[in-house]
Structure 1
Amino acid sequence: MKQNGGIILIGYLDGQVQWYKGNTVIVNINGIGYYVEVTDAAIIPEVGKGIKLYIYTYVREDALSLYGFKEIEERELFTTLLTVSGIGPKAALNILATLSYDSFINSILTENLAVLKQVSGIGPKTARRLILELQGKVGELANNLSQGIIKSSDDEEIYLALQGLGYSPQEIKQSLSGMEFAENTTIEEKIKKALTRLGKER
């Protein structure tokens, strides 16, 4: 947590589900309940179960709201969406609830208005504004994600091979996360293992 003008900004919560309804959940941490809105009710477990969320703290003169995300990349994209003129937290949350992280970034980079207009409340004018204001910014997000994956020359070869097969940076990151290889494992064997894991996740 950090302070902004005397207000504590929360970046992450790790607690238990006290109550939930729709896309809203109360996270209980040491007897204090944090009221959080999330993109998808499916990420909320049963009452009493543990929940971990990356948090964006939205501060206004008359309100302080918490928005929760399962992955930190989603929170970063949410933050980026708020830089677009006319896009507030509700609209940004609606975009992330409708489109996956990868689908949204690809729609911006390829200027795909049809995909963006799938989001309720997003018409042609707003879709064009999103593309105009975000093209450079989402490209940077995609680059940052790939940099988090590549830690060696082998990782770079695996990343490029999987990307060439049509997998997104986020899918590749999830596939390689926690994967261990024997010292004498070849690049081909590593790619094959990653593909097997990706096939199970899709």
Structure 2
Amino acid sequence: MILYKIGKIISIGKQYIILESNFIGEVIYVPKPRDFIAEKVLKIFIYEYKYENHKTLYGFKTFKERILFEDLLTVPGIGPKTGIQILKERIKKIIGMLLKGDADGLAHLPGLGVKSAKQMIFELQDKYSKLISNEEKKKMKNESNLISVSEIIPTLKTLGFSKQQIKLAINKVKSKDNIELMIEDAIRVISNEKHKIIKA
């Protein structure tokens, strides 16, 4: 069993990276390709999925992500393609919703419906509840209430901000439990940047 690989990222696609390791280039599917940097040497945790005569590699920046991915595959109705989509969300938020039994919240994750979300809670809630300390549980449950920064992008587009301005804002704005406050923060960031340019 392959646990991890160390190599150089040769190319980055929409759903995968190409990693060169020991003079061999391999396609590795990852949750968030944009988190990786081309030409960088790194360690990536691997899950090797075998089906009939086919083998597909899935990669993760942290061992925790790999463990959660492997656990997701034990849930009826969740395969590797769905599992990798689910992990586009922050791992703490996913586990927080799992611990709270928040089927509606989980159902909003890519590839999941209400039925699969309930099945996920049924299969994994007890396991993660036993593995995680009470203090960590509290943190994760709070994390699950936070809104992803990406959710403010449509509003910023509607307000007429450019792609460059939106990218600047989402890189600086922190997740909160109130989307209106996040939008206000984003507008403030963009406005401050405009003032810097004018002064320059």
Superposition TM-score, scaled by structure 1 size:
0.64
CA distance in 2, matches of 1:108, 1:168: 10
Cα 1:135–1:120 shift into 2, 3 Å: same
- Aligned mates of 1:140, 1:89 — CA distance in 2: 25
Partner SS, residue 132 of structure 2: helix
1:191 maps to none
Counterpart residue number, 2:96 = 106
Mapped contact 1:113–1:127 kept (Cα < 8 A) = yes
Task: Map 1:68-79; keep pairs closer than 5 Å.
Answer: 68-79=59-70
State the one-letter code of the partner of 1:75. R
Q: Percent identity?
A: 33
Q: Does 1:40 align with 2:21?
A: no
User: C-alpha distance in 2, partners of 1:136/1:167?
Assistant: 17
The question of 1:26 aligning with 2:12 is answered no
Residue in 2 that maps onto 1:52: 43
**Deviations along 1:63-89, whole A, 9 cap, x unmatched?**
101100001000000011111011110
CA contact (8 A) 1:45 1:51 kept: no
Shift of 1:108: 1.2
1:88-131 per-position Cα deviation (integer Å, ceiling 9, x unaligned): 1011111111x211111111111112211211332211111111
Of 99, 106, 120, the residue aligned with 2:110 is: 120
1:80 has 2:71 as partner: yes
Gaps of 5+ in 2: 144-173, 176-200
Give the counterpart letter for 2:114 in structure 1.
P
C-alpha separation in 1, matches of 2:37 and 2:105: 30
**Scaled by the length of structure 2, what TM-score is found?**
0.65
Root mean square deviation, CA, Å: 2.4
How many pairs align?
A: 144
Aligned partner of 2:87 among 88, 96, 110 = 96
Separation (CA, whole Å) in 1 of partners of 2:112 and 2:140: 24
Residue 168 of structure 1 deviates from its aligned partner by 4.3
Name the residue aligned to 1:3.
none
- Higher relative helix content: 2
* 1:26–1:34 Cα contact (<8 Å) kept: yes
3-state SS of 1:109 partner: helix
5+ long unaligned stretches in structure 1: 1-8, 147-159, 172-200
